[in-house]
Amino acid sequence: MEEWNKKNEFNSFNSWKGLLYSEHYKAIIDWRDGKRYAPLPPIEASLDPIHACNLRCSHCNAASYLISDLKDRRMEDEHLHKLVNFLGEWGVKAICYGGGGEPTLHSALPEMLYLTTAKGMQSSIATNGTKIAGNTPLLHAMADNCRWVGISVDAATPETYSIGRKKNAFAETIAGIKALAEEVKIRKTKCEVGFKFLIFDYNQHEIYDACKLAKSLGAKDFHARPADFSHQGMGDLKQAKNPYDLKEVYKQFDRCRELEDDDFRVFTVVHKFNSDFTPKKGFKQCYAAPIALQLCADGNCYFCVDQRHQDKYKLGSHEPPENILRWWGGKNHKDLAFGNTPSQCYTRCTFGKYCEQCEALFSDSSDPMCVNFT
């Protein structure tokens, strides 16, 4: 299965990117073996500044706590400012704003994007896109600072959009994509605007139509991948067997690729799934988890970007930010990385391929790729 055009082989979705993290992999193994007290600072911080959303998506991975009575739903502006400053000084390379809610609902987001850049880090945003159009400060901040903005749509029509979102904000989302794409063009920046399509049974018939729509709006990328029906956030959609018409899905993938040109790319990413689109897991321990850190608005950090707000994955508080250094690399952190964590987790793993690389190439002295030879 061709996931991307050959000329776009070196892309953000290609898990071979993990080999660029070899220095971090080596440090993780040295940490395991007691040769260093902690891993290197994470490459990326996944930062959720607010646990609130204007939609109620059926498949939301944050559903369990967005509807609960959280005491702390929004990071205070002052704390968020201190946190970004700390992450930059610690050595983090980039911050992705999003995840556990809709980040554009936080009024300080535009300011934080500029601060992230000023601290020498790159930034990105994962958003539903409904609050972008008409918000000039946010549009300018995104276009000027973001390496990419991924906008979750999962539909080509208002009717299909409403099935998954439980609200009809399709027009607002589409307007947001178009507005940001136009702003990037006007300001001549390198921000990549991505139209995200998570494939379900109810929307699998309009992947190609969504791809055409993405291109017409000026998006740089169209990204489609299967949903993980075992994920705890699936709610009513959760089921044991994936209800896909695989032949039809692959047919649409091929049609989408015909739309590519120098200004529009298509990524149909399935390598983290088995042939029936169930999640694939080929590693024994969570070696690569420390290359990222999940920071949530409840004041805590979590071991894995896929497992927010679960006590067994809690690493410690980020209030004040310097507190992170007290527990980073500590016993709990180490036990989660090198214990039986994978056996307790049944969902698609964002860093699964990175864990496989670290395990196969750095966990012992076998050196299967002969790294010292060209």
> Domain 6-362 belongs to what topology?
TIM Barrel (3.20.20)
Please give the mean pLDDT across all residues of the chain: 93
Quick one: pLDDT band at residue 1, thresholds 50, 70, 90? Answer: confident
Distance of CA 329 to CAs 14, 94, 162, 201, Å? 28, 20, 44, 42
CA 275 to CA 224: how far, in whole Å? 16
Provide the pairing of β-strand 44-47 with 292-295: parallel
Mean of the pLDDT values across residues 355-359? 94
The answer to whether residues 238 and 227 touch, using CB atoms and an 8 Å cutoff, is no
Q: Tell me, what's the pLDDT at 61?
A: 73
Half-sphere exposure of 304 (CA within 13 A, CB side): 25
Q: Tell me, what's the pLDDT at 133?
A: 97
| Lowest model confidence (mean pLDDT) among 35-49, 239-253, 257-271 | 239-253
Residue 18 has pLDDT above 80, yes or no: yes
Three-state SS letters, 18-57: HHHHHHHHHHHHHHHCCCCCCCCCCCEEEECCECCCCCCC
Task: Tell me the per-residue pLDDT of 221-236, one tens digit each, with 9 for 90 and over.
Answer: 999 999 987 765 555 5
Phi, psi of 170, deg, nearest 5: -60, -45
The more confidently predicted of residues 272 and 239 is: 272
pTM to 2 decimals? 0.94
Task: Tell me the per-residue pLDDT of 45-84, one tens digit each, with 9 for 90 and over.
Answer: 999 999 999 998 878 877 767 766 666 689 999 999 999 9
- Domain boundaries in the chain? 6-362
Task: Tell me the per-residue pLDDT of 164-185, one tens digit each, with 9 for 90 and over.
Answer: 888 899 999 999 999 999 999 9
Residue 349 has pLDDT above 70, yes or no: yes
Task: Tell me the per-residue pLDDT of 196-221, one tens digit each, with 9 for 90 and over.
Answer: 999 999 999 999 999 999 999 999 99
CA 184 to CA 192: how far, in whole Å? 8
